[in-house]
Structure 1
């Protein structure tokens, strides 16, 4: 298995004694949890492991997949001229908007109320969440992700304090490269937003092309959440572990894109499991 090979050295038990769980089964259990969001589907007769054991090996596998080596391998912002030109050409094919290398937006991932700083995690829709920032290319690959801010934090603040903005400011990303964002972001040389009140034909045309191109990020977020249904419902772990889940899902999404793996059928979605005591809730994940 492709994913297993990346983390085998970390999660493979040193011996098969005491019915040690092999790396392949650990990865399968973790992927099933991310795909369904249902803890109870990760244990039972099919896998021969208890729910408590499932929580423990999911935790171990997530730690391994969240290691910088795997994340950096899967999530990369283009910096070479060839990579940038390819991204720009793909975006230009959508609505003839020049210079675009990525589209950016935020998305809220619902969490349980944290024990500390609870009010900071209540978003404008009045539920607890973390606000994640995502940048997609025209092929719906994730180029950058930030998953550490409470739900009450505005998209613009996340952008202003993220590492990607610093790369633009320091010239690590060459001039003439743009991201497209909605009106919640500040308009900057490298982050273009729509005209709030277009005053002429040219500005109206700009807004139309901007909207058509930026739609990629909305569809990209939809694809990510369809592929990993754990991101749909309330994630009943603390905010730090939720951030780890988001980062791993983003990396695996790109790996699926790299391997041309299709999305699950939209009619095969799963409902979030009811709130019950389980190993994840009590700290095993």
Structure 2
């Protein structure tokens, strides 16, 4: 009997005791400017997000000191904003690293389920306003958006590692982004490995079907890595006349809006700017969540934090391999060149 009691005592002595940490709530500590700096949203907008996401984040009971939706959202936003290691983020509210990992996953899924609400092609009224804004800025009529691809660096995955190596030699997810003149993202495709070419992502996306079947009326501007279509204008590879050179200049200047949009997205949510150490499927969910948050920030006119301005837009290199050009696309582009 004494031996059994001694063994139980030893087990309890070496057993790791469960500790419930005193959690701090950043909403009680920081002002609006400090909240934007750390979480990219002010207090009022944070409360609106908490209210919207609460049905997905609320636990059934408060057993085991369950995190409330407000702290879950703040943990995830802190990770999105600075891209730090998850244990660094967990220290903010004094939770375990594994808890922070699960919370980031829950919030990312909750936001990605709302992507159809916040990321969508413009309706007729919205498209008319976008076309007018582009026309006033560049003189090009009928433009509803610009399209480009960007790479989000990831840690080398265990499965099909070679597929994720892009042309610059690092592992990534190739993300297709289309935006309007206000930096609002109207289309997102985040599921392809880094070795996939931009033209294939477009060919396999629903965006192509929407424009081919006339569900969106207008023109997109893309670089020379995309095929010329009647609804997708690309630059001329070898312009010979002053009109064609002028078209290329205006095209490049107008299309730079999508480069700036990508810069704003990655500066606002720095986790997309560095290497993400997650499974590729989880990285795609985080990209979708950050895109939803980006569009919310654009709609609410939330500024970038100080010292987080987007980088300068590099000059476009049009001397790339030519893509297929259909006859209808050539005719539309010729009309644009004549109008300009």
Q: How many positions carry a matched residue from both structures?
A: 263
**8 Å contact from structure 1 (residues 130, 151) kept in 2:** yes
**8 Å contact from structure 1 (residues 75, 142) kept in 2:** yes
Alignment correspondent of 1:13: 59
Alignment correspondent of 2:88: 41
Classify 1:95/1:268 alpha carbon distance in 2 versus 1 (closer, same or farther; 3 Å): closer
Alignment correspondent of 1:171: 214
Tell me if 1:197 matches 2:238: yes
List aligned pairs for 1:79-90, cutoff 5 A. 79-80=123-124, 82-90=125-133
Superposed structure 1 runs of 4+ greater than 3 Å apart = none
Which segments of 5 or more consecutive residues in structure 1 lack a partner in the other structure? 270-285
Alignment correspondent of 2:116: 72
SS in 1 for 2:192: strand
Classify 1:26/1:268 alpha carbon distance in 2 versus 1 (closer, same or farther; 3 Å): farther
**8 Å contact from structure 1 (residues 226, 264) kept in 2:** no
Q: Which has the higher contact order (CA 8 A, sep 6+)?
A: 1
SS in 2 for 1:266: coil
Which segments of 5 or more consecutive residues in structure 2 lack a partner in the other structure? 1-46, 311-340
Alignment correspondent of 1:227: 268
**8 Å contact from structure 2 (residues 267, 309) kept in 1:** no
CA distance in 2 between counterparts of 1:172 and 1:51 reads: 46
CA distance in 2 between counterparts of 1:86 and 1:167 reads: 19
CA distance in 1 between counterparts of 2:238 and 2:107 reads: 49
Residue among 63, 77, 99 paired with 1:53: 99
Query: Normalising by the residue count of structure 2, what TM-score does the alignment of the two structures yield?
Result: 0.75
Q: CA RMSD in A?
A: 1.4
Deviations 1:174-196 (A, max 9, x none): 3xx10000011101101000011
Alignment correspondent of 1:187: 228
Which protein is bigger by CA-based radius of gyration? 2
